[in-house]
């Protein structure tokens, strides 16, 4: 793979998505951040474009497309200038639902997956807990088997789409301590004993709702078990790969937009009779970023290529997320700095990007977690 | 009903257009291309007419370089049935385009040809009129509709052009100064469409995938027997004058004085 394998169909999907995102989403970026939520119709609108079911089978409403269509989605979504909306849509289609597509029963796919891909049911992924994030083997929410039911008790934290999810792909402990006792369930949120305890006030991604959830003697039928009992850990770990990969792709595309905006603003704004973009200090800084962004893109595309071909890509994906997430912090800092006072008011996209970008070294596994994962894969470390 | 709809590959209006140093044309390197937006409205209308009058067929035709296949694919992904690309690199005047289209119409024998009222690259607005004249067909230009683009009719994807019960004529509204006029044109006919006729649909990924299987027939102007030697040539192109810096005036009186004496507008 020397060129990214985008076909005329990928290009056409990109054009339609870009038009949609720029016309239907971007104009509301500020308004939805202020509201702390966005309309449900965004899910159905994206579903009509086929943007939620890209890489799912046709019998659940998908298009059976390759992963490069997901790349197109993650790249074009950043044009909404609203990282919260993007995150919600990617959780809906690429984080909470892939497991159901892979190991769900026909019944589970019909009840949960198909309506999620049609934008009719909002999906959330329930893995992190107040005391366990990437340390999945330590999670404490329990599901006790009683006849044909599981009885669930515990709490989930930092759950995107959490305040209004119609169902949660939920990681629970059904067995022994450690990774061998973890199972996955599809959990409908209209079950008695379930409650949204708190909508979290975040630094960025404001249009996306993030919640603390409680489960108190919640009873669900055993048929909601995803795959085999106590075999959930492997699927959670695999699922992280897709989550981290879309984060890296989105980060690179986000940096493209930031530098593009900075160059435009730097060409329009003058100081001492000269456009900012013509000062050597800014020229050099922006060129350094463009160079690093290009490196991040090709590291990410390398990971995508492996992932798309179902090869092992844990190291490459972790490196892509680590590199792109860390680089974003420098790029957004400088692009905001170039905007001067305008960069400090939230009407300007770079100001909101500055808040939102912080998540990229934290969400989906922190940079430190990425380094731990990579270190384990390097002989001698 | 068979509907032929034309789509031209034009410079994306969001691209920054620069003129070549010798002023012979614009610099095309680094410019993005897409379908003429009026033509996208034409495709949308053709699809709505087709779906309201089954069985019908929509054929997308484009004249241009091989790359114009992308704009045909875009029409096919919106839902058109098949495509025709008349391949030609380089400049064609509107008359040559109209005469190529005459041959396509003679070959396909559509009941209706839908075209954008003009292409946003050169804004000539003559192709549809020339085609109607050469074919001896009736024409309605600047087709629009009474209902707004926010109306329930538009949300329900209703066609603005109405086929008569005997399927021999088409009723079209067109915008005139201060109102609308409603015309009825006998078929076959040429209709050119205006901005407020409809909101074109987005092509969904499943439909983009389906369009892969649809056929695009490729033809050459020479094989159609059309002499494309231009009757109109581009002498030169010029960018619009650069905006000069404004000035500040101390008070309203000074402003009015300048508007009266220098700008001569009050």
Contact of A63 with chain B, judged by CB distance below 8 Å, is answered with yes
- pTM score of the predicted model: 0.92
- For A51, the closest of B205, B207, B212 (CB atoms) is B205
- Please report which residue ranges of chain A form alpha helices under DSSP H: 8-20, 29-35, 41-48, 67-77, 83-90, 98-103, 106-108, 114-117, 232-268, 280-308, 314-338, 349-357, 367-376
Beta-carbon contacts of B146 under 8 Å, excluding residues fewer than 6 positions away, are B173, B180
Interface of B with A (CB under 8 A): 34, 69-70, 73-74, 77, 202-209, 211-212
Positive or negative: CA dihedral A354, A358, A360, A364 = negative
Beta-carbon contacts of B116 under 8 Å, excluding residues fewer than 6 positions away, are B6, B8, B36, B37, B38, B39, B40, B41, B42, B192, B193
Distance CA B259, CA B264 (A): 6
Contact of A13 with chain B, judged by CB distance below 8 Å, is answered with yes
- For B73, the closest of A8, A20, A48 (CB atoms) is A8
CA-based nearest residue to B193, from B12, B39, B7, B6 = B39
> B24-28: which pairs have CB atoms within 8 A and are 24 or more residues apart?
B24/B234, B24/B236, B24/B237, B25/B91, B25/B234, B25/B237, B26/B237
Distance CA B239, CA B62 (A): 28
In whole numbers, what is the pLDDT of chain B averaged over residues? 94
Share of chain B above pLDDT 90, in %: 81
B209 and A51: CB-CB below 8 Å? Answer: no
Query: Does the active-site annotation cover A243?
Result: yes
Distance CA A251, CA B64 (A): 37
> Per-residue pLDDT tens for B16-66?
889 999 999 999 888 999 999 999 999 999 999 999 998 999 999 999 999
Bridging pattern class, strands B2-6 and B112-116: parallel
Active-site residue, selected from the candidate residues A76, A111, A129, A243: A243
CA distance B76 to chain A (A): 11
Distance CA A275, CA A44 (A): 44
CB-count exposure of residue A117 (10 Å: 0-12, 13-18, 19+): buried
Considering only CB atoms, which chain A residues are within 8 Å of B202?
Answer: 16, 19-20, 48-49
- Whether residue B245 has pLDDT greater than 80: no
Model pLDDT, residue A1? 67
Question: Omega of the bond prior to B55 within 30 degrees of 0, cis?
Answer: yes
Angle subtended by helix axes A83-90 and A67-77, to nearest 10: 160
Bridging pattern class, strands A182-188 and A194-199: unpaired
CA–CA distance from A61 to each of A50, A64, A102, B206 (Å)?
8, 9, 14, 9
Spell out the domains of chain A, with CATH numbers in brackets.
8-117 (1.10.540.10), 123-230 (2.40.110.10), 233-376 (1.20.140.10)
CA distance B242 to chain A (A): 14
CA distance A3 to chain B (A): 18
Q: What is the CATH number of domain B2-238?
A: 3.40.50.620
CA-based nearest residue to A338, from A273, A271, A282, A287 = A282
Bridging pattern class, strands B82-87 and A149-160: unpaired
Beta-carbon contacts of A322 under 8 Å, excluding residues fewer than 6 positions away, are A367, A370, A371, A374
Positive or negative: CA dihedral A238, A242, A244, A245 = positive
- The residue of B78, B205, B214 whose CB has the most chain A CBs within 10 angstroms, and thus the best one to mutate to test that interface, is B205
Cβ atoms A82, A32 nearer than 8 A: yes
A12 and B34: CB-CB below 8 Å? Answer: no
Given phi > 0 = left and psi -120 to 50 = alpha, else beta, which region is A7? beta
- The residue of A11, A19, A50 whose CB has the most chain B CBs within 10 angstroms, and thus the best one to mutate to test that interface, is A50
For A12, the 3-state DSSP assignment is helix
Distance CA A80, CA A82 (A): 5
Model pLDDT, residue B175? 87
Angle subtended by helix axes A314-338 and A349-357, to nearest 10: 140
For A199, the 3-state DSSP assignment is strand
> Per-residue pLDDT tens for B104-120?
999 999 999 999 999 99
> Per-residue pLDDT tens for B64-94?
999 999 999 999 999 999 999 999 998 899 9
For B39, the 3-state DSSP assignment is helix
Going from N- to C-terminal start, the domains of chain B cover 2-238
- The residue of B12, B202, B213 whose CB has the most chain A CBs within 10 angstroms, and thus the best one to mutate to test that interface, is B202
For A110, the token pair is 């019909």
Beta-carbon contacts of A19 under 8 Å, excluding residues fewer than 6 positions away, are B202
Residue identified by tokens 């699927």 is A235
- Could you tell me how many CB contacts below 8 A there are between chain A and chain B? 48
pLDDT in tens, chain A (381 residues): 678 999 999 999 999 999 999 999 999 999 999 999 999 999 999 999 999 999 999 999 999 999 999 999 999 999 999 999 999 999 999 999 999 999 999 999 999 999 999 999 999 999 999 988 778 999 999 999 999 999 999 999 999 999 999 999 999 999 999 999 999 999 999 999 999 998 999 999 999 999 999 999 999 999 999 999 999 999 999 999 999 999 999 999 999 999 999 999 999 999 999 999 999 999 999 999 999 999 999 999 999 999 999 999 999 999 999 999 999 999 999 999 999 999 999 999 999 999 999 999 999 999 999 999 999 999 999
Positive or negative: CA dihedral B34, B192, B134, B119 = negative
Question: Omega of the bond prior to A106 within 30 degrees of 0, cis?
Answer: no
> Per-residue pLDDT tens for A104-160?
999 999 999 999 999 999 999 999 999 887 789 999 999 999 999 999 999 999 999
CA–CA distance from B235 to each of A186, B119, B232, B238, B242 (Å)?
69, 20, 9, 10, 21
Q: Does ipTM come in above 0.95?
A: no
Considering only CB atoms, which chain B residues are within 8 Å of A65?
Answer: 205, 209
């Amino acid at each position: 793979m020397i060129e990214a394998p985008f076909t005329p169909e990928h290009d056409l999907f990109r054009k339609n998505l870009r038009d949609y995102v720029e016309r239907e989403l971007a104009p509301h970026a500020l308004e939805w951040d202020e509201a702390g939520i966005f309309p449900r119709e965004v899910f159905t609108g994206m579903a009509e474009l086929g943007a939620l079911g890209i890489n799912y089978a046709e019998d659940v409403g998908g298009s059976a497309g390759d992963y490069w269509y997901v790349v197109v989605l993650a790249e074009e979504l950043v044009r909404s200038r609203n990282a919260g909306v993007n995150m919600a849509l990617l959780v809906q289609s690429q984080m909470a639902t892939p497991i159901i597509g892979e190991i769900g029963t026909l019944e589970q796919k019909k009840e949960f997956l198909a309506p999620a891909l049609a934008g009719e049911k909002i999906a959330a992924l329930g893995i992190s807990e107040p005391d366990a994030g990437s340390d999945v083997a330590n999670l404490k929410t329990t599901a006790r088997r009683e006849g044909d039911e599981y009885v669930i008790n515990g709490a989930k934290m930092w759950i995107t789409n959490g305040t209004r999810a119609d169902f949660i792909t939920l990681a629970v402990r059904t067995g022994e301590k450690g990774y061998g006792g973890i199972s996955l369930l599809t959990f409908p949120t209209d079950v008695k004993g379930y409650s949204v305890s708190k909508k979290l006030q975040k630094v960025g991604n404001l249009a996306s709702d993030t919640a603390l959830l409680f489960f108190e003697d919640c009873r669900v039928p055993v048929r909601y078990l995803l795959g085999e009992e106590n075999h959930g850990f492997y699927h959670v770990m695999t699922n992280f790969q897709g989550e981290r990969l879309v984060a890296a792709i989105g980060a690179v595309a986000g940096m493209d937009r930031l530098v593009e905006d900075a160059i435009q603003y730097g060409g329009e704004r003058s100081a001492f009779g000269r456009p900012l973009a013509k000062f050597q200090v800014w020229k050099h800084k922006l060129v350094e970023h463009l160079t690093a962004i290009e490196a991040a893109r090709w590291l990410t595309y390398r990971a995508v290529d492996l992932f798309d071909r179902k090869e092992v890509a844990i190291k490459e994906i972790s490196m892509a997320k680590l590199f792109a997430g860390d680089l974003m912090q420098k790029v957004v800092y400088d692009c905001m700095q170039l905007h001067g006072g305008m960069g400090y008011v939230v009407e300007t996209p770079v100001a909101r990007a500055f808040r939102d970008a912080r998540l990229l070294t934290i969400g989906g596994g922190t940079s430190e977690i990425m380094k731990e994962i990579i270190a384990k894969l390097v002989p001698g470390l | 009903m068979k509907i032929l709809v034309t789509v031209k590959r034009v410079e994306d209006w969001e691209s920054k257009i620069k003129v070549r140093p010798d002023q012979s044309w614009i610099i095309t390197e680094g410019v993005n291309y897409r379908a003429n937006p009026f033509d996208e409205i034409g495709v949308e209308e053709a699809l709505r007419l087709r779906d309201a009058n089954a069985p019908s067929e929509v054929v997308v035709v484009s004249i241009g370089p091989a790359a114009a296949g992308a704009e045909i694919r875009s029409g096919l992904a919106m839902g058109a049935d098949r495509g025709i690309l008349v391949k030609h690199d380089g400049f064609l005047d509107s008359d040559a385009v109209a005469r190529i289209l005459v041959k396509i119409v003679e070959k396909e024998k559509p009941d209706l040809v839908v075209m954008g009222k003009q292409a946003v690259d050169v804004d000539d607005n003559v192709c549809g009129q020339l085609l109607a004249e050469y074919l001896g067909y009736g024409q309605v230009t600047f087709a629009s509709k009474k209902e707004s683009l926010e109306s329930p009719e538009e949300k329900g994807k209703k066609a603005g052009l109405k086929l008569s019960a005997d399927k021999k004529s088409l009723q079209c509204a067109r915008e005139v100064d201060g109102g609308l006029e409603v015309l009825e044109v006998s078929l076959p006919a040429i209709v050119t469409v205006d901005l407020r006729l409809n909101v074109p649909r987005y092509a969904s990924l499943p439909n983009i995938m389906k369009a892969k299987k649809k056929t695009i027939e490729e033809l050459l102007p020479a094989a159609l027997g059309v002499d494309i030697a231009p009757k109109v040539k581009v002498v030169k192109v010029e960018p619009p004058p650069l905006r000069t810096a404004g000035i500040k005036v101390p008070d309203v009186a000074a402003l009015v004085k300048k508007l009266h004496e220098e700008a001569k507008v009050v």
